[in-house]
Structure 1
Amino acid sequence: MDVLRARWNNLYKDRLPSLAKARDPVQKRWPVYLDHCFARIVLDNAVGKNRPWTAVVKAPAVKHMTSAQLEAAIELAEKIATGQDDLAELNEQSLRLRGKKRKVASMEGSAASSTKKQRTAPTISAYFVPSPSTPNVKPWVTDTAAVEPVADVERPDLQITMAAQIQRIADSSLTPFRKQTLTLLCEIPPGRYSTYQAMSDHMTKTSHKTCARAVGSAMRNNPFAPEVPCHRILAADGSLGGFGGHWGENGKFAQKKHDLLHDEGVRFDSQGRVKDKWRA
């Protein structure tokens, strides 16, 4: 059983997400790229079959599946990894079993659970402009010239510092995705900020598809904070977001994030939303 569990963990936690992030051609389309999404798809189809896997096996599945169920999950995951089964079709089947429409799958990567109102709120900050994928979202800043980086003009010392941080990231053993995400942070000057969704939109437009949840995970595991400024990333609605692995105003390190932003000139209102639309 231990061998089977190890194989299953490797497949859905490492191998499949790695293939997805690399956009490996074994699949025509990678509709998901997070480990829990792969687990859902595989377990719904291999274990649940005609219903969600949670109706068949207690969570966590890896501890409660039988040998036969583990083998079935491993077999299907291997077929996905080698292109023998279509991931997109399996994903659609999984969503149908759960009574969800296709667009719900795109929400699986949200940085945190949010209300319907929050999903339609501005998803950009003052720094990253909206991508074509969010044409109906009213940007907080319409003058793109106003958000050009100023470090090279007003703070040459900052430019040097950020160059050093970028080199630290490049020399690290982090995954390419985490390196890219953390490097983007170095483009955000003090007193400015972005959001998890804005960064994911920007990366989806310029490099490869990602989501706010994946960006949030990279922020949570930033080994170079606060020099690499993950504290400059806020929630889509302008609230504090996460810091140090905890979320929101009640998070363990919320005050530290507030202090860092306050020192840089970023202010929040009585509702916990950032006051300024952007700061030079």
Structure 2
Amino acid sequence: MARQGEELRSVEKLYDATSAALEELYGADLHFGYWDASVVDLPSAAARMTEHLIERTQVTPGQHVLDLGCGTGNPALRLARAREVRVTGVSVSRREVARANDSAEQQQMAHDVQFERVDALALPYTSASFDAAWAIESMSHMADRAVVLRELSRVLRPGGRLLIADGFLRRPPSSADSRAAETVCAAFRMGLPPTLPGHTELLGEAGFVVVDQEDLSEHAQRSITCLAHLMQARTAEFSDMFGEKAFTRLLDSLLGAELTGTIGYVLLSAERR
């Protein structure tokens, strides 16, 4: 438990420190982009990814959605507007939660969308209190994926859908692959992702059945090099955040071919049994 508490504080510290700067690079949708003919840069690609996730979310007006790892809150606000649902977004970062609630107030959506600082390992919600859930690039930050998935299973009603957008391990990593992936994971306080069968196994053990699996690697992976170039243009700022040597290693890993060959990006839709 002490180790899990330390990891939680480490993730909180990272996003308290970096969210504002990363938002300037990504735009309001702080996650990988969906690159197609309609996008021109990382912010528009990230916004397109949110649109794609909303399209894949099976909800009806009035239902209640949990957004696990809400970031800036913009994806949750967009989901609530587009699908006429209520959303509760959670994050370990106090600054992200405050920023997201400010956005909800400014957009006059605080009645339908609220954000709270919550530990995903112990969700403070009653059983079967949500109709659906999102986990957009948040599972990789969890100290124990299995525990978090069991918590999500508990708070979702039977038949409720969980949408996970995250990385997956394409192949057993070589030494060079491992070094690149571990450098990125260390910088962003993440663990190496499972394989696709590993994702399915974890979901099954938590009481979910995978009903759809969409490999978005081709659309998402351009985000890696795009982010690296944007961060490189602001080297002094990000060196202060990550440390000079750590940031240099991070850039080298993000710009190398090993990372994209090792880690893919998947959208999983799972149903609570």
TM-score (norm 2): 0.30
Larger Rg: 1
- Structure number with higher relative contact order (C-alpha < 8 Å, ≥ 6 residues apart): 2
Q: Which has the higher strand share?
A: 2
